[in-house]
Chains A and B, each alone.
Chain A
Amino acid sequence: MLTKIVRTVANQLILFIVIFGLYVIVHGHITPGGGFQGGAVIVSGVVMLLAAFSSQELKKSLRERVLTIVESSGALIFIILAFIGIGTVFFYNILVGTPIFGRIPAIGPGPGDIWTGGVIPLMNFAVGLKVIAGLSAVVLALALFSGGEEVEE
């Protein structure tokens, strides 16, 4: 555990990092970004917390059971969204034309419209959830392991 200044600054900064990461995830279909990129930004915030507080402290907040459930459900939402279109073809974009994310973008330059893209923004959310939970578990497990503790099961 590092000094009080570092801990206070880390506590304040994590909010901005999480908001920036969520911005990158949500706007994945109109600007560069998407599920993995935004998730990696948020996990870099978790690594900052891991360096400021020790891994034993962080283990009390990020419990392993919760991380497993979030990770599996993120992947499940992705695959179920792909299966929804199986009436036509697997991965078919059935939300085009419906009010949920269904508008067609105008051709040519202009401000990006977030309510376009069909199934793709929802898949970005699912992948973002999975990456946050998965990479946090990996980073936490490596920190605990090199500190000498074995994670059983």
Chain B
Amino acid sequence: MMEHIPLDFPFLAAALLVGISFYIIIFKKNLIKLIMGIAMLASGVNLFLVSLGYRAGGTAPIYTDVPEGTMVMSVPQALTLTSIVINVAVLALMLTMAIRIYRHTGSLDSEKSRKLKG
């Protein structure tokens, strides 16, 4: 069954995620939707990084009960892991600032709660 899915499918999914998230970031006004858009952009980039690490005929670099084949060097997985950790910190920071903006101005709409103009 796995052979009938074309190999480009994960890249199409990653591009779709990135495209939808850019639409959300540019056009939506609610702050929470903006934060969700950035989380979706992060997921799209992480999916892209993992799917470019596929090597046909390779096995995971784990020694316990390993099948036959050459072991891959797990650099893209390390990049993805670092990216996930960084995005956790960024999202926590953005959520805190959104809560404080709501406390001070009473609205989560980015048009109504702007004080800096010009």
Within 8 Å CB of B62, what residues of A?
A: 30-32, 112
Within 8 Å CB of B85, what residues of A?
A: 36
- Please tell me which stretch of B11-19, B36-44, B50-58, B91-99 contacts chain A, meaning at least 4 of its Cβ atoms lie within 8 angstroms of it: B91-99
Task: Give the interface residue-count category, chain B.
Answer: 10 to 19
- Please tell me which stretch of B1-9, B22-30, B63-71, B105-113 contacts chain A, meaning at least 4 of its Cβ atoms lie within 8 angstroms of it: B63-71
Beta-carbon contact of A109 and B66 below 8 Å: yes
Beta-carbon contact of A112 and B64 below 8 Å: yes
Task: Give the interface residue-count category, chain A.
Answer: 10 to 19
Q: Report Cα–Cα, A36/B86, bound state, in Å.
A: 11
Beta-carbon contact of A145 and B96 below 8 Å: yes
Beta-carbon contact of A146 and B63 below 8 Å: no
Beta-carbon contact of B96 and A30 below 8 Å: no
Q: Cβ of B20 < 8 Å from any Cβ of A?
A: no
Beta-carbon contact of A31 and B96 below 8 Å: no
**Which parts of A124-140 form the interface with B (CB within 8 Å)?**
135, 138
Within 8 Å CB of B64, what residues of A?
A: 30-31, 109-112
Q: Cβ of A142 < 8 Å from any Cβ of B?
A: yes
Q: Cβ of B90 < 8 Å from any Cβ of A?
A: no
Q: Report Cα–Cα, A30/B96, bound state, in Å.
A: 37
Beta-carbon contact of A146 and B99 below 8 Å: yes
Within 8 Å CB of A109, what residues of B?
A: 63-66
Q: Cβ of A105 < 8 Å from any Cβ of B?
A: yes
Within 8 Å CB of B95, what residues of A?
A: 142
Within 8 Å CB of B99, what residues of A?
A: 142, 145-146
Beta-carbon contact of A112 and B96 below 8 Å: no
Within 8 Å CB of B63, what residues of A?
A: 30, 105-106, 108-110, 112
Smallest CB separation, A25 vs chain B (Å)? 14
Smallest CB separation, B99 vs chain A (Å)? 6
Question: What residue of chain B has the Cβ atom nearest to residue A110's Cβ?
Answer: B63
**Which parts of A62-101 form the interface with B (CB within 8 Å)?**
none
Within 8 Å CB of A105, what residues of B?
A: 63
Within 8 Å CB of A31, what residues of B?
A: 62, 64
Q: Report Cα–Cα, A111/B96, bound state, in Å.
A: 45
Given A32-B60, A109-B65: 4 more A-B contacts, CB < 8 Å: A36-B85, A111-B64, A142-B96, A145-B96
Question: Which chain A residues have a beta carbon within 8 Å of chain B's beta carbons?
Answer: 30-32, 36, 105-106, 108-112, 135, 138, 142, 145-146
* 5 closest cross-chain pairs (CB), A and B: A109-B66, A112-B64, A138-B92, A36-B85, A112-B63
